[in-house]
């Protein structure tokens, strides 16, 4: 049981009290002291003077001593002009383009420069020393075979800055499948600690390399082709089992990007897009030998009567004119020909209307055919796409439809130059002089159409430096890379060459 209980309460009232405390402080008096100082000025002066060096007493009379002094003065003046005269004339020649007061100096500049070609470097890669430590588990027979293997220089290429040269190593004198290892070697030739016997970087490959090309703008991207049919765009590869003899970077105006052009032993010149992972060529040509090659090399325009196809080994495009569709090829028989790729035209939408949607690359490839052959090619490709139940016609569909290669790959040869007596392994345009290109052949010469340079070993590769206009690199069969310095006349654009080239292209 619970019950309420009432209890008594008590309350207390609070009372506030105030307490005051007083505190004060006083600082001690600070003592002040005054003092001063003054420095005394004290000056010490000293001076020196150099006097004329006492000359040994001249032998002979006073007239002979005067003659000796004049000869010494003339020697000093001649030495000074020899050191700075070339630079002075070059700068005056540059100003001659904008000022009439310097006109006519080109003749004196040509006379002042060196007339001969000078060799600067001799680069060589020791294959046995580099690969021998990695073959420690191999048998004695295998080691002996590796020691006897001698790789040739199959390709050279300068990077975009002109400071690094890439050298591809392989062999041209074997057939079948390549079963030896190779490497892509890079040298920085302007490095202070350059070792001509040791590359700055070695990129190993599982098979022999046949060609190499640096990207025209990106100095760190390099492409190479192997004997086993691999195209490397470091680190990308294409397993098309063909013998790729040469590769080059080509600017495509329509896509505003660089493509890769390749030439092979079956006579095909193909253009590949890196954006497509090098899956299928976007453009191609066949190397049909022009009619009248024994004479002046006239061009044949008849598509029905084709001359034999020659195998390609070298390919070169001019880097000074991105809009130019002309290039030079070298063949296994020593033929050097000028080719002209068909200019890209606007695809007519009326030619590709229908149920199937054509991609831009597929329509561009078929549109290069003669107008009379486009409808038949289109029907064949669309019929194959219908069988595959595909609503879109891509570049792969065009190739899988198996169109006649002679139709989609026309002839591009224009005329031929003086032929080599052996296979042409490389060709290169001068990046500073549009009318000059060089070819390297197994006949042991590098002809420049002016003064051939003879060497002992066959020449397999060559390339101009894109920055140093007078630098040329060439590789021979012994695996040695020679770097030359060209003369002024070969390295610089001459008066009247532009008009001559324009007249040649107009014909």
Q: Do 177 and 106 belong to one domain? A: no
Show Cβ contacts of residue 133 under 8 Å, excluding neighbours closer than 6 positions.
none
Q: What angle do CA 182, 328, 411 make, to 5 degrees?
A: 105
The span from the CA of 145 to the CA of 140, in Å, is: 9
Q: Which of 112, 142, 166 is the endpoint of a domain?
A: 112
Q: What pLDDT score does 104 carry? A: 57
Phi, psi torsion values for 244, nearest 5 degrees = -90, 120
Whether 21 is covered by a domain: the verdict is no
Q: What pLDDT score does 141 carry? A: 37
User: Which of 342, 339, 345 is CA-nearest to residue 414?
Assistant: 339
Return the bridge partners of 485, or none.
Answer: 118, 471
How many independent structural domains does the chain possess? 2
The span from the CA of 405 to the CA of 411, in Å, is: 11
Whether 232 is covered by a domain: the verdict is yes
Whether 47 is covered by a domain: the verdict is no
Q: Do 467 and 498 belong to one domain? A: yes
Q: Do 79 and 168 belong to one domain? A: no
Token output for 414 = 């224009």
Return the bridge partners of 182, or none.
Answer: 205
Q: Do 192 and 222 belong to one domain? A: yes
Q: Do 140 and 239 belong to one domain? A: yes
Whether 276 is covered by a domain: the verdict is yes
Q: Do 96 and 238 belong to one domain? A: no
Q: Do 167 and 243 belong to one domain? A: yes
Whether 347 is covered by a domain: the verdict is no
Q: What pLDDT score does 293 carry? A: 53
What is the CATH classification number for the domain harbouring 466? 2.130.10.10
Q: Do 316 and 176 belong to one domain? A: yes
Q: What pLDDT score does 108 carry? A: 54
Q: What pLDDT score does 115 carry? A: 58
**Residue pair 93/105 in contact by the 8 Å Cβ criterion:** yes
* Alpha helices by DSSP H, 42-131: 62-95, 105-112, 127-131
Cα radius of gyration (the chain): 39
Q: Which of 58, 92, 112 is the endpoint of a domain?
A: 112
Q: What pLDDT score does 236 carry? A: 33
Q: What pLDDT score does 171 carry? A: 86
Q: Do 97 and 127 belong to one domain? A: no
Neighbours of 444 (CB within 10 A): 18
Q: Do 100 and 248 belong to one domain? A: no
Per DSSP, the three-state class of 54 is coil
DSSP string, 124-179: E--HHHHHGGGGTTS-HHHHHHHHH---EEEEEEE-TTSSEEEEEEE-SS--S---
User: Which of 329, 314, 315, 332 is CA-nearest to residue 173?
Assistant: 332
Whether 244 is covered by a domain: the verdict is yes
What range defines the domain where residue 462 resides?
118-284+305-331+418-506
Whether 1 is covered by a domain: the verdict is no
Half-sphere exposure of 365 (CA within 13 A, CB side): 29
Q: Which of 60, 77, 112 is the endpoint of a domain?
A: 112
pTM (two decimals): 0.49
Token output for 113 = 């420069």
Token output for 78 = 């001649």
Return the bridge partners of 184, or none.
Answer: 168, 203
**Tens of pLDDT, residue by residue, the chain (507 residues):** 567 766 677 777 777 777 778 887 887 888 888 888 777 777 777 777 776 655 555 555 555 666 677 788 888 888 888 777 777 777 776 665 566 665 555 555 555 555 567 788 889 888 877 776 554 444 333 333 444 567 889 899 988 778 789 999 988 877 777 788 888 998 888 776 788 888 888 888 888 898 899 888 777 788 888 888 888 776 433 333 345 667 888 888 878 888 888 887 777 888 888 887 788 888 888 887 766 554 333 444 444 455 677 777 788 887 777 777 788 888 877 888 888 876 655 566 666 777 778 888 888 888 777 778 888 888 888 888 888 888 888 888 888 888 877 778 888 777 788 888 777 888 888 877 777 888 888 776 555 544 444 446 788 888 888 878 788 888 888 888 888 888 777 777 777 777 777 776 666
Q: What pLDDT score does 168 carry? A: 92
**Burial readout 367-387 (b: 16 or more C-beta within 10 A, e: otherwise):** bbbeeeebeebbeebbebbee
Q: Do 133 and 248 belong to one domain? A: yes
The span from the CA of 123 to the CA of 461, in Å, is: 13
- Helix axis angle, 105-112 relative to 62-95, nearest 10°? 120
The span from the CA of 164 to the CA of 167, in Å, is: 10
Whether 309 is covered by a domain: the verdict is yes
Q: Do 94 and 196 belong to one domain? A: no
- Helix (H) / strand (E) element for 26: namely none
Show Cβ contacts of residue 149 under 8 Å, excluding neighbours closer than 6 positions.
127, 180
């Amino acid at each position: 049981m619970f019950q309420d209980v009432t209890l008594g309460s008590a309350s207390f009232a609070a009372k506030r009290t105030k307490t005051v405390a007083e505190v004060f402080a006083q600082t001690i008096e600070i003592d002040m002291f005054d003092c001063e100082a003054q420095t005394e000025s004290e000056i010490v002066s000293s001076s020196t003077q150099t006097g004329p060096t006492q000359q040994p007493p001249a032998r002979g009379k006073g007239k002979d001593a005067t003659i000796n002094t004049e000869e010494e003065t003339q020697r000093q003046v001649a030495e000074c002009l020899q050191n700075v005269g070339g630079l002075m004339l070059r700068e005056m020649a540059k100003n001659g383009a904008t000022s009439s007061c310097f006109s006519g100096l080109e003749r004196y500049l040509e006379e002042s420069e060196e007339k001969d070609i000078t060799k600067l470097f001799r680069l060589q890669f020791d294959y046995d020393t580099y690969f021998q430590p990695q073959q420690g588990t191999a048998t004695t027979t295998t080691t002996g075979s590796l020691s006897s293997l001698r790789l040739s220089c199959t390709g050279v290429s300068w990077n975009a800055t002109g400071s690094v040269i890439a050298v591809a190593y392989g062999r041209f004198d074997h057939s079948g499948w390549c079963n030896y290892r190779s490497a892509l070697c890079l040298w920085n030739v302007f490095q202070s600690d350059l070792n001509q016997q040791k590359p700055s970087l070695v990129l190993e490959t599982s098979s022999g390399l046949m060609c190499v090309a640096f990207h025209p703008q990106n100095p760190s991207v390099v492409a190479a082709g192997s004997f086993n049919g691999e195209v490397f765009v470091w680190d990308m590869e294409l397993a098309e089992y063909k013998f790729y003899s040469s590769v080059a970077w080509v600017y495509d105006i329509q896509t505003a990007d660089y493509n890769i052009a390749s030439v092979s032993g079956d006579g095909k010149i193909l253009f590949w897009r890196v954006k497509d992972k090098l899956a299928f060529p976007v453009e191609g040509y066949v190397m049909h030998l022009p009619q009248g090659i024994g004479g002046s090399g006239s061009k044949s325009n008849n598509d029905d009567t084709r001359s034999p196809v020659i195998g390609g080994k070298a390919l070169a495009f001019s880097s000074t004119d991105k809009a130019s569709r002309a290039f030079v090829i070298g063949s296994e028989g020593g033929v050097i020909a000028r080719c002209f790729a068909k200019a890209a035209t606007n695809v007519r939408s009326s030619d590709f209307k229908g149920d199937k949607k054509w991609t831009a690359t597929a329509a561009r490839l078929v549109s290069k055919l003669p107008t009379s052959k486009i409808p038949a090619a289109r029907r064949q490709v669309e019929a194959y796409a219908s069988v595959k139940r595909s609503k879109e016609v891509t570049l792969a569909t065009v190739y899988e439809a198996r169109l006649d290669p002679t139709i989609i790959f026309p002839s591009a040869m224009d005329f031929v130059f003086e032929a080599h007596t052996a296979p042409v392994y490389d060709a290169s345009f001068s990046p500073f002089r549009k009318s000059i290109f060089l070819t390297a052949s197994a006949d042991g010469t590098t002809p420049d159409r002016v003064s051939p340079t003879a060497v002992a070993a066959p020449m397999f590769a060559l390339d101009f430096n894109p920055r140093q206009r007078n630098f040329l690199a060439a590789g021979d069969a012994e695996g040695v890379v020679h770097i030359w310095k060209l003369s002024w006349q070969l390295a610089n654009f001459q008066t009247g060459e532009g008009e001559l080239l324009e007249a040649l292209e107009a014909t």
